């Protein structure tokens, strides 16, 4: 049976080449001399080559040995680089968290602070985008886990329930509209909405579709803040997460509008790829996120 070649075989070979002596190599590597001789014999047998000639009780490397020596040094250097990188990654792990625009504002800073305080060696990368893009990042493996709203249907995604997220219909404080409206009346208003693919937009369009209504916003934006400012300027009506507009309502910069017979509540989730393997540190941070108040 042929033995398998290992880095150890190559290191022994290189050491023998540098010392031109089995005995000296055995002393330096603290390995028995017969084991050194057997290692060289294993390499020669495995590759069917002659590495050394024994001339006047000295080891003289062959031309084949010289060629293989150069490559062996390259392989060992690459392996050492790999080991150092693996150790550095273990000691300073990189974790990439994604969040929807809403949770990027309301929850991600708290997570970042937790990681900084409890895992100072962790290199934390963050991405804030709409839920669909975060989901795609998890599927691609570029994001370790994400916090998103809305439905998740891909079977390769593992989900954990996060907090429920309430949406509010809001307008400027002097915008002329009743405090309670129907879904049909909402559709007739000048709608200031997030872009297609965002969870709040998908949620509202699903509601319209259930009622046979088409959605024609007068403004679309990827920025919640832009929509808030446009709404404060009385340019139309917006549908936004309660967490983002609560302060504006309290300070009478915006006012809420009740939608008759409908409560706009979105489910939100922590998502990861079903085949994702968690390190201990990763699992602890993930579990912390899953423990947020429901």
Whether 146 and 194 map to the same domain: the answer is no
Whether 72 and 111 map to the same domain: the answer is no
Q: How many residues does the chain have?
A: 294
pLDDT in tens, the chain (294 residues): 456 889 999 999 999 999 989 999 999 999 999 999 999 999 999 999 999 998 887 889 999 999 999 999 999 999 988 887 777 666 668 899 999 988 998 899 999 999 999 999 898 999 999 888 999 999 999 999 999 988 888 999 999 999 888 999 999 999 999 999 999 999 999 999 999 888 889 889 999 999 999 889 999 999 999 999 999 999 999 999 998 999 999 999 999 999 998 888 888 999 999 998 888 888 999 999 988 764
Q: For position 145, which CATH number holds? A: 3.40.190.10
Whether 144 and 126 map to the same domain: the answer is yes
Whether 247 and 278 map to the same domain: the answer is no
| Confidence (pLDDT) at 1 | 47
Q: Which domain holds residue 209?
A: 165-266
| Confidence (pLDDT) at 228 | 96
* Number of independent structural domains in the chain: 3
| Helix ranges, the chain (H) | 7-19, 22-29, 33-47, 63-91, 101-106, 108-118, 131-140, 183-188, 199-210, 224-232, 242-250, 280-290
pTM of the complete model: 0.64
| Confidence (pLDDT) at 91 | 61
Q: For position 29, which CATH number holds? A: 1.10.10.10
Residue 40 lies in a domain: yes
Whether 141 and 201 map to the same domain: the answer is no
| Confidence (pLDDT) at 90 | 63
Whether 26 and 152 map to the same domain: the answer is no
| Confidence (pLDDT) at 197 | 80
Whether 188 and 258 map to the same domain: the answer is yes
Whether 11 and 72 map to the same domain: the answer is yes
Whether 257 and 275 map to the same domain: the answer is no
241 class by beta-carbon count within 10 Å (0-12 exposed, 13-18 middle, 19+ buried): buried
User: Can you list the pairs that 223-231 forms with residues at least 24 positions away whose Cβ atoms lie under 8 Å?
Assistant: 223/101, 224/101, 224/102, 224/105, 224/194, 227/192, 227/193, 227/194, 228/254, 230/192, 231/170, 231/171, 231/172, 231/192
Q: End of a domain among 55, 73, 91? A: 91
Pairing of strands 157-161, 268-273: antiparallel
């Amino acid at each position: 049976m042929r033995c398998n070649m290992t880095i150890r075989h190559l290191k022994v070979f290189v050491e023998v080449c540098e010392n031109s002596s089995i005995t000296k190599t055995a002393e330096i590597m603290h390995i028995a001399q017969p084991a050194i001789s057997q290692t060289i014999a294993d390499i020669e047998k495995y590759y069917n080559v002659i590495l050394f000639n024994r001339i006047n009780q000295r080891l003289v490397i062959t031309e084949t040995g010289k060629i293989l020596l150069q490559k062996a040094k390259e392989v060992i250097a690459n392996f050492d680089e790999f080991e150092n990188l693996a150790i550095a990654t273990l000691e300073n792990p990189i974790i990439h968290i994604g969040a929807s625009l809403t949770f990027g504002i309301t929850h991600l800073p708290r997570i970042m602070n937790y990681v900084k305080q409890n895992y100072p060696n962790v290199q934390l990368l963050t991405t804030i985008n709409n839920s669909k893009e975060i989901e795609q990042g998890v599927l691609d493996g570029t994001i370790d886990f994400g916090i998103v709203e809305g439905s998740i249907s891909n079977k390769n995604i593992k989900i954990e329930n996060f907090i429920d997220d309430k949406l509010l219909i809001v307008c400027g404080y002097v915008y002329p509209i009743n405090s309670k409206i129907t879904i049909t009346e909402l559709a007739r208003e000048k709608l200031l909405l997030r872009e297609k693919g965002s969870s709040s937009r998908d949620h509202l369009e699903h509601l319209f579709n259930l009622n046979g209504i088409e959605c024609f916003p007068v403004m679309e934006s990827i920025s919640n803040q832009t929509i808030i400012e446009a709404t404060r300027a009385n340019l139309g009506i917006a549908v936004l997460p309660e967490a983002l507009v609560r302060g504006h309502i309290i300070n009478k910069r915006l006012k809420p509008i009740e939608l008759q017979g409908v409560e706009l509540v979105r489910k939100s989730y922590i998502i990861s790829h079903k085949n994702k393997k968690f390190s201990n540190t990763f699992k602890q941070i993930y579990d912390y996120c899953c423990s947020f108040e429901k």
